[in-house]
Amino acid sequence: MAGLTFSTFGGNPVTMATTLATIEYMEAHDTPSNCAVQGARMAERLAEFEAEFPIVGETRGMGLMQAIEIVQPGSSEPDAPRTAAFVDTCKEMGLLLGKGGLYGNVVRIAPHLNVSAEDVGVAMDIIGRSLAQVS
């Protein structure tokens, strides 16, 4: 035996091949550029929602990692029950989102790195319809 490895996360032929395939895919499909372009599209639509819906206290994020803060209309008070209703409404329409934040009123949006423009458009439409429904 040439060597011994005893580590769950250590290099082995299977994980190394998987890692190399992932890096090659990312390079071939220019995922960093896709993240920037699709993330900008998401941020633009979320800013529109912030202006349109009084329950949106703030939208924030970078690239494909975005968030919506849900508040009680006309204030900056967190609205965890409405946040849960919003996430549930999105789920009923086919979009899975996470929620968190210190007060349970922040919705996390984090699609995969190779998300398409079409999928971003569909997701933003669902978010808009869900915000309208729970407002």
Domain limits for position 30: 13-134
- Is residue 89 domain-resident? yes
Instruction: Report the alpha-carbon angle 91-75-135, nearest 5.
Output: 35
- Is residue 3 domain-resident? no
User: Which CATH number belongs to the domain containing residue 67 in this structure?
Assistant: 3.90.1150.10
- Is residue 63 domain-resident? yes
| Span 28-66, pLDDT tens digits | 999 999 999 999 999 999 999 999 999 999 999 999 999
Q: Which residue has the tokens 């999105």?
A: 90
| Span 67-120, pLDDT tens digits | 999 999 989 999 999 999 999 999 999 999 999 999 999 999 999 999 999 999
- Measured in degrees and rounded to the nearest 5, phi and psi for residue 18 equal -65, -45
- Is residue 2 domain-resident? no
- Count of domains observed in the chain: 1
In this predicted structure, what is the pLDDT of residue 77?
A: 98
Specify the pTM.
Answer: 0.86
In this predicted structure, what is the pLDDT of residue 74?
A: 87
Structure tokens at 47: 């800013």
- Is residue 4 domain-resident? no
The Cα–Cα gap between 91 and 26 comes to 29
Neighbours of 77 (CB within 10 A): 11
